[in-house]
Amino acid sequence: MNKTVKFALAQIEVVAGRPDLNVAKMIREIEVAKRRNVDVILFSEMVVPGYLLGDEWENESFVNDLMDYNQDVLEASQGIAVIWGNVFVDKNKKGEDGRIRKYNAVYLAQNGEWLSNGAFEGHTFKTLMPKYREFDDERHFYSMLRLANEMGKPLNEFLKPFKVTVRGEEINIGAILCEDMWSDDYADNPTKILAENGADVIVNLSCSPWTWRKNNKRHRVIKSLLEKVSVPFLYCNNTGIQNNGKNIFLFDGNSTAYDKSGNVVKQARDYVEETVEVDIDLNSKELIGWIPGQARNDELTDERDVEELYNGLVYGMKRFFEGNRMSKAVLGLSGGVDSAVSACLLVAAIGKENVYAVNMPSRFNSDLTKNAALVLAQNLGINYGVFPIQESVDLTVKELKALKFERQDEEKQITDVEVSEYSLENIQARDRGSRVLAGIAACLGAVFTNNGNKTETTIGWCTLYGDVNGAIAPIADIYKSEVYQLARYMNKLAGKEIIPAEILNVIPSAELSEKQDVTKGLGDPILYPYHDRLFRSFVEFRRDPEYILNLYTKGELENELKIETGLVDKYFPTAEAFVADLEHKWKQYKINIFKRIQAPPIIAVSRRAFGFDLREAQNGVYLTRGYEEMKRKILD
């Protein structure tokens, strides 16, 4: 009995909220697959509407419209089997919110008819609902697991493979969605249940955002899954970006075919629309024509790590500008590494002719950084202008000092406005952002971008309505040390020094006062080699001062946070100095949430990005009793 089946993993770019565009593209891919004698074509999870749509899922007209598009795909399935993701609406039942019940569903059709698995006709539902990071499935969707519990039946009566007929032979395809394969921390394992119910092959439709090192983890997870069930596994993801309003998530695709042992056999390229074809002999459950060792090498080297970051950021920015019908960008070019990296990313994303860089010196800006900004602009070939701000800053200070407040009661007290050194720094930043960059962008029909990195964003080392502004923050999810890695990679990629050595070697500084004079070795009040690691523990792992101080007292801090040996003692010779810095940075982190709330959208690349990826409550500063007790002991 010949049970060879040709599968196609159609990795397409999904435009969130545009089912008309997505379904038109699906139908084109289906027609191509027919001409190539494909038996079964797969598309990604929620390929019809996109996934991260926020509370648009509560719009009944929109959701019903999505359901109607299934008929278009059903009609296109003549001569082929099609498996795709979309919402399923049960109009006869309601969710806990009183609205019509919705499911995240897989649809299966062949020859213009819905396929069956004995439990459902033409569809099945997602079993495991992610409730972490940017995911909030249970806010909108009912799960297969809840349905089974509601009906008082075991899950294996619902999770059954669908029967597909290929050249007169029946094959059993088990269909799951994204989270269903990430089952290690759940009580139920949909892959295992489907295999036990006779699946010849498992297909996973995903809408899975890219983050650093995630693909390697997926390979390990699937290999572990298949050690228990031993069936071929096909993973189909989409490309594109999806923007939930505060975070721009990247979808790299990386659709992959695995053999029954979990080895990677074929992969689609990152951020590219393409279809991967694979032949499976379902008698032996082997992938035909595959020679071990032919798959792409996914070894995660340091260089590849930075390369993936660069490719993701460029792709995200390119799609952000295209999706919002923007073509030109304005940015402040200070002569520092953050603005240099942002400028390079913009050039790669939208072209040098569309990038307008502005150097905005005050009396505190050095010739060193001003010259470095000019050299970078010349190296990139971008539009460059100088817009001095000292006169307007002086005028603002003068007018502030002239302002008097008179209390409107019997006492009629007068309050003068004092301009402190700190206020003067903020005035400069706001002048650059709210007046100069915003004004230039409006005149050019452009948008302006944000140069802030994650280290600064974590503790609010930025000025509201100054450098907390713009349309997009391309590097706000990478720490300062990673910005330098990216800068060096860009020079290596170009084969020459695009970002001048002066920018890479000068001490990081906002140059807003005499205390930040880079020519005297003065810069930001942040010890980046240490604080980058400390802030990562706050943000990515939700650690607090009690956890950090406990590691410090045990002498385990550097090892646990992967800090260079001896660095903590170098920066903080005494316990008092260490504790003072820890409390200061924790307070800055907690107090400055309001700045992050008002910041522009961030391209998410890390384990946890500020925005909807990290849900922050403005509760002020709290130090646990455990911390206070440890502090007393260590200081005594």
CB atoms within 10 A of CB 242: 24
Helices 302-323 and 337-350 pack at an angle, to 10 degrees, of: 60
Q: At 308, which CATH number?
A: 3.40.50.620
Mean pLDDT of 277-284: 89
**pLDDT given for residue 300 in this prediction:** 62
Of 296, 324, 358, the residue that ends a domain is: 296
pLDDT in tens, 489-506: 999 999 999 999 999 999
Beta bridge partners of 332: 358
Do residue 244 and residue 363 come from a single domain?
no
Pair type for strands 247-252 and 602-604: parallel
pLDDT over 90 (residue 293): no
**Span 440-483, pLDDT tens digits:** 999 999 999 999 999 999 999 999 999 899 999 999 999 999 99
Coil vs helix vs strand at 541: coil
**Residue 450's CB: how many other CB atoms inside 10 A?**
27
Q: What's the rounded Cα separation, in Å, for the pair 636 and 555?
A: 18
pLDDT: is 185 or 242 the higher one?
242
- Partner residues linked to 4 by β-bridges: 281
| DSSP code of residue 387 | -
Same domain, 49 and 165: yes
Calpha distance 125→506 (Å, rounded): 55
Q: Tell me the average pLDDT across 558-580.
A: 97
**Which amino acid is it at 415?**
T
Residues 229 and 129 in one domain: yes
Tokens of 340: 């240099």
487 and 610 co-located in one domain: no
Kindly state the tokens that stand for 38: 């494909």
DSSP conformation class of 463: -
pLDDT at 91: 87
What are the Cα distances from residue 405, in Å, to 371, 399, 426, 427? 43, 13, 21, 20
Domain boundaries, position 593? 527-636
Both 453 and 427 in one domain: the answer is yes
Beta bridge partners of 9: 42, 276
Instruction: Single out the residue in 256, 272, 296 at which a domain terminates.
Output: 296
pLDDT category at 294 given cuts 50, 70, 90 is: low
Helix (H, G, I), strand (E, B), or coil: what is residue 581? helix
Give the tokens for residue 188: 């139920």
Please write the tens of the pLDDT for every residue from 31-70.
999 999 999 999 999 999 999 999 999 999 999 999 999 9
Q: Name the average pLDDT for the chain.
A: 94
DSSP-based helix, strand, coil % in the chain, nearest 5 = 40, 20, 40
Helix (H) or strand (E) holding 379: helix 367-380
Residues 410 and 451 in one domain: yes
> What are the structure tokens assigned to 530, written together?
């240490």
Backbone φ and ψ of 548, nearest 5°: -65, -45
Mark whether 83 and 49 lie in a shared domain: yes
**The pLDDT of residue 290:** 67
Q: Which helix (H) or strand (E) holds 240?
A: strand 239-243
Domain count, the chain: 3
Rounded to the nearest angstrom, the gap between the alpha carbon of residue 604 and the centroid of all alpha carbons in its chain is: 3
Residue 211: predicted pLDDT: 85
Q: What is the pTM of this model?
A: 0.93
In 303-400, where do the E strands start and end?
A: 329-332, 355-359, 383-386
Quote the tokens at residue 137.
């499935």
Separation CA 344–CA 352 (nearest Å): 9
Examine the pLDDT at 394 and tell me if it is beyond 60.
yes
Same domain, 478 and 404: yes
CA distance 414 to 345: 51
Contact 460, 426 (CB under 8 A): no
H-helix or E-strand containing 501? Answer: helix 501-505
HEC-encoded secondary structure of 250-287: EEEECCEEECCCCCEEEECCECCCEEEEEEEECCCCEE
User: What CATH number is associated with residue 112?
Assistant: 3.60.110.10
Q: How confident is the model at residue 292 (pLDDT cuts 50, 70, 90)?
A: low
Both 507 and 537 in a single domain?
Answer: no
Residue finishing a domain among 485, 504, 522: 522
Q: Are residues 134 and 159 in the same domain?
A: yes
- Look at 13 and 227; give whichever has higher pLDDT: 13
Q: Taking a C-beta distance cutoff of 8 angstroms, is the pair 518, 511 a contact?
A: yes
**Six-digit token string for 204:** 């996973």
Q: Do residues 518 and 537 share a domain?
A: no
Q: What DSSP element (H or E) covers 459?
A: helix 454-459
∠ CA 593-597-600, rounded to 5°: 130
Same domain, 23 and 144: yes
CB 254 within 8 A of CB 270: yes
